[in-house]
Structure formats: C-alpha cells, structure tokens
Amino acid sequence: NLKGVRILLVEDNDMNRYIASQSLKHFGCDVLEALNGRDAIEKLGRHKFDIILMDIQMPVMDGVEATRYIREHISKSLPIIALTANAFKKDIDQYMSIGMNDYVTKPFEENILFNTL
C-alpha cells in the first residue's frame, strides 16, 4: 500500500513526468514534481518526502550531481530511485556508488515501479 507516500518526482521531460505522476497518483502517492536537480534540491528544503524518483539526464543539474549533493548536504538515508534509460551495468553501478538505492528503467512498467517503491 503506497497511499500517502510522499514522492518527489524529478524529471525534465513533460511526457515522462506526466506518465510517472499519473502512475504514482494511481498508487495513492502524494507527488510533487521537480524539473531538474537544482529544482529538486530547492523543494527538499521546503517539503518532506519519503522517496525521490530521480531522472539521470536533465539540464541545469543532472540526477548524478543532485544525488551527490543530497547525500553530502541533505540526507544520507532518504531513498533515491534512479529513473533511467541507461540500464547498462556500468551505469547502474555508478548510480549505486553515489548513493542511489535502486533504479527503474524507462519506459517503465507500472508493476515494476510499484514493486521498486
């Protein structure tokens, strides 16, 4: 049951953000959206979240940079799940090494997103 889970969805692509947001709301999650890593960090300063879904490739500040910043300055324990089209082992290893907790490949299947959350 994910009802009431507060999620920060960090995604620069309008369509990807819309699809992910609709899926999360269908699961009962409370969703706040950010357009890039810098926007996410700003929102983390004003709101409490249970999980971050973090796109990797974004303008202004990408998901890797944002995760490093979050781990160093905001929280070492807040779960961060990568949303990525890059599912090569070396990419996934990098995401885990900087402090991400898991990943979901795009385009995602709702049941995989649900189970990962």
State pLDDT tens for residues 4-28. Answer: 999 999 999 999 999 999 999 999 9
Q: Is 104 helix (H, G, I), strand (E, B) or coil?
A: strand
pLDDT in tens, 39-62: 999 999 999 999 999 999 999 999
Distance separating alpha carbons of residues 83 and 29, to the nearest angstrom: 17
Would you say residue 1 has pLDDT above 90? no
**pTM, rounded to two decimals:** 0.94
Can you give the pLDDT at residue 99?
95
Q: Residue range 77-100: average pLDDT?
A: 93
- Asked if residues 1 and 24 have their Cβ atoms less than 8 Å apart, the reply is no
Total Cβ atoms within 10 A of residue 49: 21
pLDDT above 90 as % of the chain:
89
110 or 10, higher pLDDT? 10
| Cα 32–chain centre separation | 11
Radius of gyration of the chain (CA): 13
Distance separating alpha carbons of residues 53 and 117, to the nearest angstrom: 9
Mean pLDDT, the chain, whole residue set: 95
